Each structure stands twice: as structure tokens, then as C-alpha cells.
Structure 1
Amino acid sequence: MKIWEELKKQWRFMDGVVIVCLVILSFTPLIVFGMNQKNQTDDNGLIAIIKIDGKEVDRFELNENTKHYEKTYYPGKDKYNIVEMEGTRIRVKEDNSPDQIAVRTGWISRAGQTSICLPHKLVVELVSKAPSEEDEDLIISY
């Protein structure tokens, strides 16, 4: 009980105000990003872009009617990645990289998500089929 009494002696009103403000501010990013994700709708469909070494090698349209499909990519000698897609989701099912990060990422199903296998330089990226008006504003023409 002596510890509690010591804390009460050292406590100031503004300490409480600062703590409450910091707690509220700590949840601000969660609210902002949550609202941003809520505004992104995938009703327009998704496009999965497969890139190896920065070059696009495949593009698949993903929607509810997409059948189960697997494709194997060979980004280099003795390297392979098996990409699996089903419905509106896609994943790197298997590869022979040492860290297995892309495999551990699992299924991705929302616009903006990526699955990356760094040793093989393979990137699976999901983009919205129809870009939003905000995305169009960001396009800069030369």
C-alpha cells in the first residue's frame, strides 16, 4: 500500500491529461487505415500480376468464378515457385527458397496486397480491376 500512496503523492492532474491524450492518439492510425480499407471495394474484381526480376510475366483476373489453377514458374536455374489461385485469392503454394517467406504469407485476396519471394525475385501483386478516382489523380503523364 505504501507504493500506491507514493504514486498518489507524485500524481498531477496534467499527467492524467497527457496519458489520456497519448492513448487516444495511439488509436488514430488504426481508425484512419481502417476507414481507408473500408472505402476500398473489390466489387470491380481483382487482377493478379506476377513479376519476376521486375518484369511482368503473367496477369490473371480473379473473381468468384475463377477455377482452381496452379502454375509453376522457373525464375532461374534450380529455382521454382508454384503459384495457386482459387476464386478471389492467390498464394505462392510452394518454392525452394531457404526462408519460405512467400509461402508463409499464405493467401492474399485484397487489392494492394503482395507476396514476395526475394531469393527468386518473384512478386505476386493484387491490384483493383478498375482503379479508383483517387488513383487516377496520382497518374502523371509526361
Structure 2
Amino acid sequence: MRNVITTLKIGDIMIIILLLLISFTPLAIFTWQQAQVDGEKLIAVISLENEVTHEINLSEHVGHELFDIVTHDHEINTIELSDGRIQIKSATCNDQVCVRTGFINRAGQTIICLPHQLVIEIQNVGDEHIVDDQVDIISS
């Protein structure tokens, strides 16, 4: 070990430090990007078989709502909205991966139910985008 330390020169140490700093650059960029998104308007876009069925404004949502999305094969996904968060509460698919995903509430997060071809994606939008706040509520 002593031989390794004595063979390092100042230039080697500077290169090691530079490489360490560069390795943390993606983390810094991601953190900065997420900090910029926090003040924006977030919507949850729900798509069934590549067709948008609902757009829900999560930034202004308060309270607790449940509603069902029924596929063309009569399969059911129950969507839960709770204080600006969204999740699939229950689904009639076998694997239940979408249910185990839990709540999402940040731009870029998604929940996907592959058997039912259902996608919930949170997007960051400007004020020019009109969002449909009305959803069919099954139970509260």
C-alpha cells in the first residue's frame, strides 16, 4: 500500500478528484431539474389503448376520489386521487404490478398496466394547456 501512495503524483491526484467531480454531475443536473419543476402545473394524463381518456389537474386537486376505468374487454382499473397524488388502487389483471407501484406525484413518473394497456403519466404543463377537472366519481 505504501508503494502505491508514493508513486502517485500531484497530477494523478488532480485527475482522480476531477473524475470524481464529473461522476456526480448527472446527480446535480437531475436535482436542479426537479427543483425547477416543483412550482409548475402538473396534470395526470390517463391513456387507455393509446387514447387519452382523462386529464386531471393534480396541482389543484384536494380531497379523495375514486373512479373506474373499464377497458374494451370489460376489465376494470380503479384509480385513486388523493391530495395531488394518483395511483391504481385495484385492477383485475393477474400480475398487479400497477397496483404495487403506489402513489405518484412528480413530473415524469408513470404507472403502466400492460395487460389492460393503461398508462398514467404525470406531465408538467404551462398555463396555456386546458385541463379537464371533471372525472366520473364512483365512490368517495
TM-score (normalised: structure 2)? 0.75
Give the conservation status (yes or no) of the 8 Å contact 2:68–2:78: yes
Q: Unpaired segments of 5 or more residues in structure 2?
A: 129-140
1:36 equivalent among 33, 37, 43: 33
| Cα RMSD after superposing both structures | 2.4
> Larger deviation: 63-72 or 107-116?
63-72
CA contact (8 A) 1:47 1:61 kept: yes
Quick check: 2:81–2:87 contact (8 Å CA) kept in 1? yes
Q: Which has the higher contact order (CA 8 A, sep 6+)?
A: 2
CA gap of 1:82–1:13, structure 2 versus 1, over 3 A, is same
Residue 82 of structure 1 is matched in structure 2 by 78
Equivalences for 1:46-125 in 2 at 5 Å? 46-77=42-73, 79-125=75-121
Inter-partner Cα distance in structure 1 for 2:86 and 2:30: 23
TM-score, length-scaled by structure 1: 0.74
Whole-angstrom distance in 2 between the partners of 1:129 and 1:16? 45
State the alpha-carbon separation in 2 of the partners of residues 111 and 82 from structure 1: 21
More helix, by proportion: 1
Which amino acid is the alignment partner of residue 117 of structure 1? Answer: C
Identity %: 33
